[in-house]
Chains A and B, each alone.
Chain A
Amino acid sequence: MNYPIWDVPILGSGLVIAMIAIFHVFISHFAVGGGFYLPMTEALALRKGRKDWMVVLKKHAKFFLILTGVFGALTGVGIWFAIGNASPEGTSTLIHYWVFAWGIEWVVFLVELSSIAAYYYLWNRVSDSLHLQLGWFYGITAWLSLFLINGILTFMLTPSQAWLDAVGSGQETFAFWSAFFNPTFWPSLLVRTLICISMAGVFALVSASRINGVQQPELKTEMTLWARRWLLPAFILLPVAMFWYLSEVPPAQRALLSLGVSTVGPGLFTVLTRMALVFVISSFATVAAVYLFTSQRNATGFGLGSALTVAAMAYLTIGSMEMLREMLRKPYVISQHMFSNGVRKSAIASINQKGYLATTIWVRPEERARWAADDEAATHGAPRVPDSARGELIFRGECMACHTMDGYRSMRKLLKGRDRKGISNMLNVLHDYREDSPYRVFMPPLVGTQSEVEALADYLTVKVAEKPAK
């Protein structure tokens, strides 16, 4: 526990990351998909000599530039802020091992943003062929930025055996390529590229919906029907891609899926399969709804309201897909290496021996001395002194990464009705971390000395007995 804890009431720090990141994916996947939509549509328009298409496309490009440039960049940085606060150990690890990849990514961003600005501002100021090449250049660099982040993101779920073997040895960079091109890299790249193509279609529909269907019915019909075709590849190929992705996920993580597959217990680990269900329903429904709204005879009547409804459903699909992916990785933030609360798997034994709070700098010397005295007295058979304050520190460090007291995954609700003995029993099951522990699939071990475990039990008993702060 070397960093301050980010205490977000009701939501929890994890959900803050989720809200920012899901919005970012919504925008950024449009940024990549649009990178192909723009030059492809331009090429088509040039080939057919359609100046009216180019007028619509230019407006769409402006919308694209502002939306992705502003909100994409803002939320991208927002993710950095959020993960740095919520999971400093995890973020620090990602920075240390992927410095080279991040460096490349930021170069790619610079090129990407410059090229889309050039694409828009040099419209009608350079030759058609150069403009088109600029568009393709942007598309390729945008897809490259997806390629790079995909490596780092999939690494978190499947870091590859080579990296796991190398970690801690100082030779981790020798495993760079194995870790980058890890087992879930390629299926995830396919899934995300398909989503990018769909998002291009979703936002193209928004632009198409704003064409006046009374004044320009043929143009509106053409652009609407062209835009909706972009949703087809994902609709057809996503089931295959998702199946491929899930087959590469390690069995230990897939166990989470079967854990929640059919029943809903009092815990939230079943959110995984529920999210999978929403994802299936939403993705299917989004595409079907688009096709129903924009059927041949209807396209001129496709209004902004309908387009935004489709965008909202796409947002839902993306949100549930991302939550599904995140849930698959529990209880780790880096699979088989670091748990969600920042504790490394390799450090379990030493923390259990020395204590979780032994190395933190955020403790006053008087407090530390008092604990040492209490522990010393306990070894000589003195009765235990209940220590809620110490327990609270353990809770903040080890539990608050995933649990809030009264909001998301409410600790108070989950422990309702238990007395101190029941809580202590449960914490010891978490601490022992045996093979047959029912918590093992989705929770990290509770690490620390026995007196720290008991202090946590003291704290939780007090909290469970309290009335929730309303």
Chain B
Amino acid sequence: MEKRVPEHKHSFWYYWGGICLFLFLVQVLTGVLLMVYYRPGPDAYDSVRQITYEIQFGWLIRSLHAWSANLMIFAVFVHMFSVFFMKAYRNPREFGWWTGLGLLGLCMVFGFSGYLLPMDELAFFATRVGLAIPETIPGMSHIISAVLRGGPEVSSATLQRFFALHVVVLPALFAPLLGIHLWLVQKHGNAMPPSEEAKPASERKSILFFPNFALRDMAVWLVVLNVLALLAVFSPWQLDAQADALKSAPVGIHPEWYFMSQFEALKLLGRVITGTLGEIVGIGMFTLALAMWALVPLFDTRTAGGRRARQTTYFGLLILIALIALTIIGYLEVA
């Protein structure tokens, strides 16, 4: 076990992958515990009500699960952007980047599918709005109705398949992908930022992964546990009224924060290009940006030169600022 971790002024970012892993483990543990009392189907709302208000410490398990979900997606974004700006996608780590993007996608679907499970007003309407967006693509409407939603409306049928997705399908896809991702990190080690690579080998510092960095990793996990505990305690998750399909959507309904930027971008675009065309252009632009993001390792290679490196960094900054700005604007608009 001679693996070493580079130590330099950007070493702080090396912890974030581990933070994602820790939060995922919290999700698995609390998720399994929730499954002990959760009843998918017409009884879903009541089972979540019992967990939150009747079963001893049910509120704690649920709050931990909900907060950890949010923190995990936040950590995944921090991890992804820090990897991006440190150019850790470069050869030989391209597959680490691609498996990571796959994991991010699965995380977002985890979040979206889990959100519906309590079947309260918020969950119901957020899911309805969320599923309505891809429907605008010609041809998608039938697929969404038949496969995802299980009918023309979000219903108990939707709930059952979202539950199967959340608890069986997604974990079955996530686990091997995560395994590959972690194995690749072990194989290639932590990447050094270009500034560090430029230094002569004698000037570079590193510490042993085991036990030094591993112990520090554990300490960081304890800090994250504290943050989670604080959030669960100060802001435990409550339950809205039960979903009622006949009610009109509450004013200002919006998806969770990690979908807010896409949601807002589509809204803004829809004001410039109205109707179905606007939606298609919007979704098309996302797909294009996503493709560019994924193909970055092939563009900004080690040998490509400084110009491409700089352009990629600017691209990353642009995306980061756009995501943050759109999220903020989105919240300002619904307030």
Point out residues on A near B: beta carbons under 8 Å. 261-266, 271, 274-275, 277-278, 281-282, 285-286, 288-290, 292-293, 295, 297-298, 301, 305-306, 309, 313, 316, 470
Contacts and interface: CB of A to CB of B under 8 A. Distances in A.
Contacts of A297: 208, 211-212
Given A278-B230, A281-B229, A316-B226, A298 B216 contact: yes
B265 to A, nearest CB: 26
Contacts of B229: 277-278, 281-282
Nearest to A287: B222
- Category for how many chain B residues contact A: 20 to 34
Given A292-B216, A309-B223, 18 more contacts: A263-B52, A263-B58, A264-B236, A264-B238, A271-B233, A274-B232, A274-B233, A274-B234, A278-B229, A281-B225, A281-B229, A285-B225, A285-B226, A292-B222, A297-B211, A298-B216, A305-B12, A313-B226
Nearest to A264: B59
A295 B12 contact: no
Contacts of A288: 218-219, 222
In the A-B complex, the 9 residue pairs with the smallest Cβ-Cβ separation, listed nearest first, are A262-B56, A264-B59, A274-B233, A292-B219, A285-B222, A289-B219, A289-B222, A292-B215, A281-B229
B13 interface: no
Contacts of B219: 288-290, 292-293, 306
B284 to A, nearest CB: 37
Given A281-B226, A295-B215, A298-B212, A264 B53 contact: yes
Interface in B222-279: 222-223, 225-226, 229-230, 232-234, 236, 238
A293 B56 CA distance: 35
Interface of B: 7, 12, 52-60, 63, 207-208, 211-212, 215-216, 218-219, 222-223, 225-226, 229-230, 232-234, 236, 238, 335
B206 to A, nearest CB: 11
A262 B216 contact: no
Which of A263, A266, A301, A313 is packed against the most chain B CB atoms within 10 Å?
A263
A263 B56 contact: yes
14 contacts: A262-B55, A262-B57, A263-B55, A263-B56, A264-B236, A265-B53, A274-B234, A278-B226, A288-B222, A289-B223, A292-B218, A292-B222, A297-B212, A301-B7
B65 to A, nearest CB: 14
A23 B170 CA distance: 45
Contact of B52 (A261, A264, A305): A264
A305 B229 CA distance: 22
B36 to A, nearest CB: 16
B76 to A, nearest CB: 21
A263 B212 contact: no
Nearest to A274: B233
Contacts of B222: 285-286, 288-289, 292, 313
A263 B216 contact: no
Nearest to A271: B233
B223 A285 contact: yes
B142 to A, nearest CB: 41
